[in-house]
Chains A and B, each alone.
Chain A
Amino acid sequence: MTATELSLLFLKTFTIIGFTVYAIFAAVIVRQEQLMANVLEESFEPVLRTLVIIHLLVALGLLVLAFILL
């Protein structure tokens, strides 16, 4: 394995670990939103729930994209 290949492998590993951590963070936000929604009932809450779920799905999609493209 050449130095360039090794560098790219290191970069890919680092990127995928970073995206995995971010996807976990996005999942934590979803759980946090659920917890807080139990504390307070409010009419706007379903919109927030949709947004945090979209955020999580895009984070997971990006992780898959990184596996494919990098």
Chain B
Amino acid sequence: MHMGPLTVFAVNPDGVKFETQESEEKVILFLRQHLIVFVPAVLILTLLLMAPPILFPLLLSALGNLPIQLPAGYALVGGIFWYLATFGFALVSFLRWFFNIYIVTNERVVDIDFKFLLYKEFSEAKLSKIQDLTYTSGGIIAAFFNYGDVKVETAGEVPNIEFGAVPRPDKVVQTISELMEESKK
């Protein structure tokens, strides 16, 4: 399956390789959070983009009553900084989503998280260690867009893995169950 920058659900994806992947290990399922998780960031971004034409004139008129006159350079660098910070916000939001990945291979389940700053979290569970699989999809929006959380419970001291807000959670659970059955044979 071909991968694009906004791919959230891919079965047998092309060109995906991850750290610690073994030579004979095959990626079966590649998941990211559903695109619906972008809604709050898009709303904030819209407000940030719309603010300068509305907020800046109000701010300047308020500053006009101050005893000091601001040099024109402040308006220029302030304006550039506003849009740069807005772009930075969009970039970080996208990076956090893009590198927050869930992978199911023929040997294990992997959860890779992008945690700010300079911190990554890599969790994995061998298929043979998985004890229980559950998924929850609560609420009108989750039901409408068909996304939910998948919880992978493991045996012993291996930490549990949770796939948050992934599309088609029923299909994810079904795929992992089938792979577990195959690995037992």
Contact = CB atoms under 8 A, between A and B. Distances in A.
Main secondary structure of the interface of B (DSSP, over half): mixed
A35 B76 CA distance: 34
Contacts of A4: 67-68
A65 B112 contact: no
Given A22-B85, A58-B84, A69-B77, A41 B91 contact: no
A65 B120 contact: no
Interface string B72-108: 0110110011001101100110110011010000000
Interface residues of A, number: 35
B122 interface: yes
Interface stretch (B11-19, B49-57, B144-152, B158-166): B11-19
Contact of B15 (A25, A36, A41, A48): A41
B88 A39 contact: no
A41 B5 contact: no
A33 B112 contact: no
A36 to B, nearest CB: 4
Contacts, number: 94
A64 B17 CA distance: 40
A41 B80 contact: no
B16 A42 contact: yes
B117 interface: yes
Contacts of B5: 44, 47
Contacts of B3: 42-44
Interface in A28-51: 28-29, 31-33, 35-36, 38-44, 47-48, 51
Contacts of B85: 22
Contact of A32 (B68, B87, B95): B95
Interface of B: 3-5, 15-19, 67-68, 70-71, 73-74, 76-77, 80-81, 84-85, 87-88, 91-92, 94-95, 98-99, 101, 112, 114, 116-118, 120, 122
Given A26-B88, A41-B16, 10 more contacts: A22-B85, A25-B88, A31-B118, A32-B114, A39-B18, A40-B16, A40-B112, A42-B16, A51-B91, A52-B95
